[in-house]
Amino acid sequence: METIMEANLSHVKEFILLGFSDLPKLQDILFVILLIIYINILIGNGIIIIITKFDAALHTPMYFFLGNFAFLEICYTSVTLPRMLSDLWTQNKNISLLTCASQLCFFLILAVTESLLLTVMAYDRYVAICKPLYYALIMNNKVCVQLVLASWITGMPIMIGQTYQVFSLPFCNSNIINHIFCDMPPLMKLACGDTSWNEVMAYADSVIFGFVPLLLILFSYNRIFMTIRKLPSGMGRSKAFSTCSSHLMVVGLFYGSGIIAYLQPKTIDLPGTEKMLSLFYTTITPMINPLIYSLRNKDVIKAIKKIIM
């Protein structure tokens, strides 16, 4: 009898993704706001992809990475936002186990890719400023392509394994996910039995793909700022800093929101806050990033003016 009950509990066929159902009067407004955000993300990052691809002046490693980052942002957002829009439009909260698993898997893979790509972009700035005479030799076309491919591929097998581990757990408390998409923390809350191993693996992956890349980024910028301080002219310092400030702002937004969202104490259970933080790093940040890079970069502004005019 116990075996039959366990089998029934572990074979959940679908979940109910509550999303913004706790705000019934704001469903239409939220749909319009999220649709505008998604369109802006597609347009903003799409423009960066186009100008870095077709403007010869931007055919450098820095803009090659920026174009790939813009493409990543579109993919990253498309994992969650279209589903949110669909749920708001149709009011259908059901999501199949396979769809939920796929969403979590792609979200984790793309989050890891973003972390690694931000690290690669920091390394590119480090070589450009700290080793300018060797920049063309170190950051040649082959190396740039290999670094981008490594950023995309490295986390795939581990995140697929992480997703498999989560969905191998029996879900017995409920099939209601009080969140805006299938993320790991709310799913772990629904699992019964011992989840300590899954939590250990999740933290280990966070250290490997989150904390270590962040340390490498901070190390790179420490060396960069030490080099900038030694530059003779104020103009040289200003130019060197301007090429790094945009990237630093994006790093701060990505890691800052992620740390706040995922490292909250377990004793604090505020689903509304969790949803807002998740909404910030899955939608607001990818919308702001193109503005940060374009408004603080003369080459990007010049390339955009060419398209418009």
The pLDDT value given to residue 214: 93
The pLDDT value given to residue 7: 42
Q: Which of the pair, 233 or 99, is modelled with greater confidence?
A: 99
Q: Is residue 8 part of a domain?
A: no
3-state secondary structure of 176: strand
The arithmetic mean of pLDDT across residues 64-74, rounded, is 94
The arithmetic mean of pLDDT across residues 30-58, rounded, is 91
Q: Is residue 4 part of a domain?
A: no
3-state secondary structure of 163: helix
Report percent pLDDT > 90 for the chain: 38
Question: What confidence category does residue 269 fall into, taking pLDDT thresholds of 50, 70 and 90?
Answer: low
Q: Is residue 101 part of a domain?
A: yes
Q: How far is CA 60 from the centre of its chain?
A: 24
What is the Cα–Cα distance from 213 to 34, expressed in whole angstroms? Answer: 30
Q: Which of the pair, 206 or 13, is modelled with greater confidence?
A: 206
What is the Cα–Cα distance from 238 to 240, expressed in whole angstroms? Answer: 6
CB-based burial of residue 119 (10 Å sphere; 0-12 exposed, 13-18 middle, 19+ buried)?
Answer: buried
Q: Is residue 106 part of a domain?
A: yes
CATH at 223: 1.20.1070.10
Q: Is residue 1 part of a domain?
A: no
Candidates 60, 33, 5, 52; CA nearest to 170 is 5
Which residues span the domain enclosing 169?
13-308
Cross-strand partners of 15: 95
Per the CB < 8 A criterion, the answer to whether 248 and 293 are in contact is no
Report percent pLDDT > 70 for the chain: 87
Q: Is residue 7 part of a domain?
A: no
Q: Is residue 251 part of a domain?
A: yes
Total domain count for the chain? 1
pLDDT in tens, 131-142: 989 999 999 999
Q: Within 10 A of 34 (CB to CB), how many other CB atoms are there?
A: 19
What is the Cα–Cα distance from 125 to 128, expressed in whole angstroms? Answer: 5
Q: Which residues contact 309 (CB under 8 A, 6 or more apart)?
A: none
Find the helix or strand (DSSP H, E) in which 177 lies. Answer: strand 176-177
Q: Is residue 5 part of a domain?
A: no
Structure tokens at 25: 């009067």
The pLDDT value given to residue 77: 94
What is the Cα–Cα distance from 302 to 97, expressed in whole angstroms? Answer: 47
What is the Cα–Cα distance from 111 to 95, expressed in whole angstroms? Answer: 22
Question: What confidence category does residue 103 fall into, taking pLDDT thresholds of 50, 70 and 90?
Answer: very high
pTM of the prediction? 0.88
The pLDDT value given to residue 196: 83
